[in-house]
Structure 1
Amino acid sequence: MKRYNYLLATFLLLYLFSSCQKSFLNEKPDQALLVPESLSDFQALLDNLNIMNVTPSLQNVATDDYYTTDNGWSALSSPAEKNSYIWLSDIYENQTNQDWNIPYKQVFYANVVLDGLNQIGPGNTSQNTYNQIKGSALFYRAFAEYNLIQMFAADYDPATASQLPGIPVRSSSDVNIKSTRGSIKETYEAIVADLNNAALLLSNTAAFKSRPCKTAVYALLSKIYLSMRNYSQAQAFATACLNLNSSLIDYNTILTSASRPFPPPLTADNKEVIFYATLNSYSFNRAATTYVNADLYNAYNSNDLRKTAYFNMRGTGYNFKGTYTGNVSFFAGLATDEIYFIRAECEARLNNLTEALTDLNTVMALRFVNGTYTNYTTTDPNQALIKILLERRKELISRGVRWYDLKRLNREASTAVTLSRSLRGQNHTLLPNSNRYVFPIPDDEIAANGLPQNPR
């Protein structure tokens, strides 16, 4: 029990601070702090929205969906934002970074809960309550590690996944255990194992959309297998998810001209939201001078309700407003519209053309002014795939997925993209498959743990 209290004290020390002054993974505890001991205490730890439901966001700064002005770039609040925007080698300038720290806090808190549950057992409380908390902790750990490996490791390639470094996978809350980087393959295996175990424990739905459920597990597994380019598995888990929740919003039923068109899922009913999470808050995401790429904006049909639901004119361009959070934060959780697009893409790649077009048209019919959408048809799976990928990009803007899509799609010559920006009279270019698609690990972690740095 003494060792258990030591681990929980470690949690509480880190819970008190929003960021660490040195390596997060090596922070040591103050044993004088009080510790949680009950299932309700553990549930309260997992219900910390400001930690457990936040995802990395620098990839949103770096993507080609947006641009800013020279003055807008100068006004950005951190070197990480400025340097990510133009894909420099040194992003952090010796500062710590929350895109690394927050997911590892999630992993740490999840491990504290899992270690604690192993100590106390279900006791006299409901076995179901115990299972829900354990399944939630496994989901949160997997969700954090998925976001970390998307940011801080190379794209999954079966030919190299066993050789290239993944991320440190932490399965214990004991900070004295040294952090190491296993392979990309080992990281994905750990994530999938956690989710498979979580699926055995969680209910189909959760009492609150900020909590995980089995539907969320299947949604995340579909995203993971898509990133691995395992299209049959991604299709299967997308189907499992949609069998539990296939709800979509008819955009004709919302006031698209409103400043916040979508209902907040934590207090109202956004029926597409499966699991609530937000992008880490950076000034870039909120700035009036952050504009949607003009070519992307012009790709929306005039009868496409997303054009007015997602954007409003401000200054010299269009700002994004259509977040599924219903507030100023950008939605980065799991929603049914994304799962439809995952399944549609997989069906197209598997040459199941009828099924692919059915999923595409199911979503698109609810995005256009009533009576103006004509079902998309083609006999060419490649043309269907191009259309699905375009509509996926237009549907999921500002959810943090575009950068990850670029990483995986750059592996294919037909979908590879060269990014370019002009800033202060200087042109910046990012080539497909560049090392700079992989974010560097913060310098403090490299120094403290001797982790191999990502080549830039």
Structure 2
Amino acid sequence: MKKSIIYLLGIAIVIPAFMSCSDFLDQNPDLRTTLDSEEKIANILVSAYISGAGSYQLVAELSSDNVCDYGITKNYNQFYQDVYEWAEEVTSNNDAPRNIWSSNYNNIANANQALSAIEELGGPTTTRLKASKGEALICRAYSHFVLANMFCMPYNPATAGNCLGIPYMDHAETDLNPRYERGTLQKVYEMIGKDIEAGIPLIDDTAYSVPKYHFNYKAACCFASRYYLFMQDWDNAIKYATMALTSNPSSLLRDYSAIAALPNGTSRHQEYVNSASTANFLLQAATSNSGLLFDWYSTAGRYSHGKLQGIYETVQPKKGGPWGSSVTFKAPHAVLASSGKYVLPRTWRVFQYTDPVAGTGFNKAISVLFTSEEALLNRAEAYIMKMNEDPTALDKALEDINLYAANLFSAGFKSMTEASIIKWATETYPDYSELYVGKTSVSSPQTLNPKKKLHAAPYNTLEEDGPQESMLQALIFMRRYQFLHEGMRWFDTRRFGITVYRYLLDEDAETVVQITDQISDENGTADPRRALQLPADVIAAGLTPNPRK
């Protein structure tokens, strides 16, 4: 008997155990069947965040241009190879697309169950019920947003009405065998926006014992700014980023000196995700191997962020970033001699033992989903896109990116100006053809440059090397640095239509043997692999697969 789509959407009757706010390694019993009090409704909402398998970050990062193939002698397994090669079907793994799908729909089911229970209690008539309703709406919106950006094509106002969406679950399901349609991406985004706008006014940070593990007010506003940025709604992106940053953004900057004071290694990662940091708005604990991949370990060293990207495009490009080449980072990157990875402290790995005697268990990855740095960069990008209609937008964008950048460095930083950024963006970069075996594999002079061609609308209509496009290039570079190892680069390559190359490297981790594949929109059409394929069992149950031609 064919499984019903309700199961395949990840909203089966059994809901996973949920994470305690005070200790992300604690587990509490499921309360779904007896949601008859404010406390139980608040408790089940802890299950509306990913704590089990299904974090998108590892798959998104391995899909992006932040990794390349460092050779078969490095550690890897079939799952990492499948993701790196954009395979249609991916080997089973805690981080696999199928778990991203099912976990997010389970989160949505829990949010919907809480919303249904609130209505059964007479509606949000108390302060706590109002806060729970706001949290549930934002959790529902966020999980749909993740699903849309992993399994749908990039949002563009001109094409979203013709792109496949994902089922938007806006109520607790009671039908034993419901039938779902994917609808359009436009409709999904409209529903996400509706939930965001209804949810944010209800958020109440005093309802949480540990707000950083919930959609608190700053986190919800930062999410809203990301949503509107992806929608190309610049005014609302600015509005919500400003709400997240408050009137004093400098008070929310990360203490990189505290990170730098720690021994190079895991302790820096732990400090980066510290819930006490004013820069961290929302933390996530997931059953994931991302902490292994993006730390000192040799795990998946074959498909990683290493020397090639580090010295040509991201951490220390040959001619420097838009902030110049003479800067000294407060907390510099680590070059890992054993694995060859270039690593920034972003994700903290915690091993949770199931049998301490046998030494068995599983990896938890603690990461930050929303930060003050993102809010600053979101707002700066929106200001850049308004430069031609708002005479003050340039100065506001420069103020934000200089505030962001100055906090990274201990020495050598000079405030960026329009002129200095244009100089950086328009500099002639070599094509680095000397890095290619036989010098016959170079397909574009853009392949190893920090600056990338933008093929998606409206960014491809900006005057190349003009002030606005140069400013945007600098902003995209900063985003790539800030979100390294966190998966956001995959979303940005989709949004901007940036070509993603697949390099096979020689043993020196720098010489390119071959460009084995690429995702490109250069012909004017978005590559269909920008969207992950739906899980095979979901397709078998009746949902339309993503086209591949």
TM range, normalised to the smaller chain?
A: 0.7 to 0.9
Following the alignment from structure 1 to structure 2, what is the Cα–Cα distance between the partners of residues 220 and 162? 23
Q: Note if contact 1:73-1:82 (Cα within 8 Å) is conserved in structure 2.
A: no
**For residue 85 of structure 1, what is the aligned residue in structure 2?**
84
**For residue 533 of structure 2, what is the aligned residue in structure 1?**
440
Gaps of 5+ in 2: 1-10, 19-31, 351-363, 388-392, 420-466, 507-512
Q: How does 1:104-253 map to 2 (within 5 A)?
A: 104-121=105-122, 127-174=126-173, 176=175, 177-203=178-204, 207-208=209-210, 209-243=212-246, 246=249, 247-253=252-258
Cα offsets for 1:135-187 (capped at 9, x unmatched): 11111111101111000111111122112111110112215332221211110
2:336 to 289, 313, 323: 313
Following the alignment from structure 2 to structure 1, what is the Cα–Cα distance between the partners of residues 197 and 82? 38
TM-score, normalization by structure 1: 0.83
**For residue 369 of structure 2, what is the aligned residue in structure 1?**
333
Gaps of 5+ in 1: 1-9, 18-32, 411-415
Distance 1:128 1:16, change over 3 A: closer
**For residue 368 of structure 1, what is the aligned residue in structure 2?**
409
> 1:383 offset after TM fit, Å?
2.1
**For residue 462 of structure 2, what is the aligned residue in structure 1?**
none
TM-score, normalization by structure 2: 0.69
Q: Note if contact 2:69-2:504 (Cα within 8 Å) is conserved in structure 1.
A: no
Question: Over aligned residues, Cα RMSD in angstroms?
Answer: 3.2
Cα offsets for 1:4-48 (capped at 9, x unmatched): xxxxxx86623269xxxxxxxxxxxxxxx9534322122222224
Following the alignment from structure 1 to structure 2, what is the Cα–Cα distance between the partners of residues 245 and 451? 47
Q: Note if contact 1:234-1:346 (Cα within 8 Å) is conserved in structure 2.
A: yes
Q: Please give the secondary structure, in 2, of the residue aligned with 1:274.
A: strand
> 1:365 offset after TM fit, Å?
0.8
Counting aligned pairs with the same residue, the percent is: 21
Distance 1:265 1:422, change over 3 A: closer
**For residue 396 of structure 2, what is the aligned residue in structure 1?**
355
**For residue 259 of structure 2, what is the aligned residue in structure 1?**
254
Q: Note if contact 1:332-1:400 (Cα within 8 Å) is conserved in structure 2.
A: no
Q: Note if contact 1:331-1:398 (Cα within 8 Å) is conserved in structure 2.
A: no
Runs of 4+ in 1 over 6 A off after TM superposition: 93-96, 423-426
Q: Please give the secondary structure, in 1, of the residue aligned with 2:15.
A: helix
Q: Please give the secondary structure, in 2, of the residue aligned with 1:223.
A: helix
> 1:215 offset after TM fit, Å?
2.0
1:417 to 495, 499, 507: 499
Q: Note if contact 1:61-1:285 (Cα within 8 Å) is conserved in structure 2.
A: no
Q: Note if contact 2:65-2:500 (Cα within 8 Å) is conserved in structure 1.
A: no
1:303 to 323, 327, 342: 327
Q: Note if contact 1:132-1:202 (Cα within 8 Å) is conserved in structure 2.
A: yes
Q: Please give the secondary structure, in 2, of the residue aligned with 1:150.
A: helix
Q: Please give the secondary structure, in 2, of the residue aligned with 1:277.
A: strand
Amino acid at match of 1:346: A
Distance 1:135 1:88, change over 3 A: same
Amino acid at match of 2:100: D
Query: Larger % of helix: which?
Result: 1
1:273 to 239, 264, 280: 280
Distance 1:329 1:305, change over 3 A: farther
Q: Which moved more, 1:151-160 or 1:67-76?
A: 67-76
Distance 1:54 1:447, change over 3 A: closer
Cα offsets for 1:181-224 (capped at 9, x unmatched): 12111100111111111112112675420111222222111101
> 1:307 offset after TM fit, Å?
6.0
Distance 1:141 1:53, change over 3 A: farther
Q: Note if contact 2:137-2:198 (Cα within 8 Å) is conserved in structure 1.
A: yes
**For residue 449 of structure 2, what is the aligned residue in structure 1?**
none
Distance 1:253 1:187, change over 3 A: same
Q: Note if contact 1:262-1:270 (Cα within 8 Å) is conserved in structure 2.
A: no
**For residue 27 of structure 2, what is the aligned residue in structure 1?**
none
2:544 to 438, 448, 452: 452
Following the alignment from structure 1 to structure 2, what is the Cα–Cα distance between the partners of residues 330 and 421? 30
Distance 1:339 1:439, change over 3 A: same
Q: Note if contact 1:263-1:325 (Cα within 8 Å) is conserved in structure 2.
A: yes
Q: How does 1:18-97 map to 2 (within 5 A)?
A: 35-48=34-47, 50-51=50-51, 55-57=55-57, 58-71=59-72, 75-76=76-77, 79=79, 81-91=80-90, 97=98
Q: Which moved more, 1:48-57 or 1:376-385?
A: 48-57
Following the alignment from structure 2 to structure 1, what is the Cα–Cα distance between the partners of residues 518 and 148? 24
Q: Note if contact 1:264-1:326 (Cα within 8 Å) is conserved in structure 2.
A: no
Following the alignment from structure 2 to structure 1, what is the Cα–Cα distance between the partners of residues 271 and 115? 30
Following the alignment from structure 1 to structure 2, what is the Cα–Cα distance between the partners of residues 175 and 403? 36
**For residue 378 of structure 1, what is the aligned residue in structure 2?**
418
Q: Which moved more, 1:252-261 or 1:335-344?
A: 252-261
